[in-house]
Amino acid sequence: MSYQSDPKNSPGDFFALLEKSGYRWQALCDLSQVRNDVTVTHGTTVLAFHFKDGVLVAGDRRATAGNSIMYERCDKVIPIDDYSLMAIAGVPATAFEMARVLTHNFEYFRRSQMQSMSGEGKIRALSKLLKENVGMAVQGLGVVSPIFATYDVQTQKAAIHFYDMLGADFQIRTHTSTGSGSPTIRGILEHEDLWGEQPLAERSESNAVTLAIRLLQTAARFDSATGKARPEDDIFPTVALITEKGYRFMNDEEMADVCMTSLKRG
């Protein structure tokens, strides 16, 4: 059963349940009363691309507020369910709340309908949250630019979707990146896909992980808001893989080994 376009007609719709229970996602927009000169913490940079076995999603770990570095261990790739991840650039507080609502939404649908929500339904659920967040985004207090990656068990295909501030979604056939370091990353990914040794979609897991680490490290050289991998301080990018088996995050030991070889010069 697909997620219905009209929430009121879908018995498994979690948003409708929240509304009946008195919870309003839009309530977060009350922050729009805060003065516009408040400096809000932001997270950058994230990327995603198709590789041979599925989708790779990665992000640096730095969170900034204006020209200040607030945190060097921010997790910007967030699990939503066993087969879905959301990577965020923007205000972490808003993104984490979106992630919590989405997680409950997907689980409520699964339990009430006795089956998982379709990939199309998941994509539209995030779009709905972004549309309701427009007020905060316009104020500059809740801007979130997410990448949603999922493996659809029904179609047995991995998908990447990018969203704009108004909730419009765009399916990504090859690669995407968002955040302040994204211009550098998108250019390199396009070059690699067109003229690299292999198109991105044909690359192995190890090749894809190495590329992702190098991309984020390169972006950090040109963008101060993107954090570098610092193995000496146990600070590594977040790298996750989505395949037919679900999502998997690479642990620090794996990242240390990959960084040791992939970040060498020459």
Provide the annotated active-site residues: 44
Q: What's the CATH number where 127 sits?
A: 3.60.20.10
Residue 215 lies in a domain: yes
Residue 165 lies in a domain: yes
Cβ atoms of residues 149 and 48 within 8 Å = yes
| Structural domains counted in the chain | 1
Q: Which residues contact 198 (CB under 8 A, 6 or more apart)?
A: 207
Residue 147 lies in a domain: yes
Residue 32 lies in a domain: no
Q: What is the DSSP string of 209-250?
A: HHHHHHHHHHHHHH-TTSPPPBGGGTB--EEEEEETTEEEEP
Q: Is residue 134 classed exposed, middle or buried when 0-12, 13-18 and 19+ CB atoms within 10 A define those classes?
A: middle
pLDDT digit of tens for each residue in the chain (266 aa)? 444 444 445 667 787 777 777 666 554 445 445 545 556 667 689 999 999 999 999 999 999 888 889 899 999 999 999 999 999 888 888 888 889 999 999 999 999 999 989 999 999 999 988 888 776 655 556 678 899 999 998 899 999 999 987 889 999 999 999 999 999 999 999 999 999 999 999 999 999 999 999 999 999 999 999 999 999 999 999 999 999 999 999 999 999 999 999 998 86
The count of residues in the chain is 266
Which residue range is the domain that position 175 belongs to?
Answer: 40-262
Residue 218 lies in a domain: yes
Is the pTM here over 0.85, yes or no?
A: yes
Residue 88 lies in a domain: yes
Residue 233 lies in a domain: yes
Residue 150 lies in a domain: yes
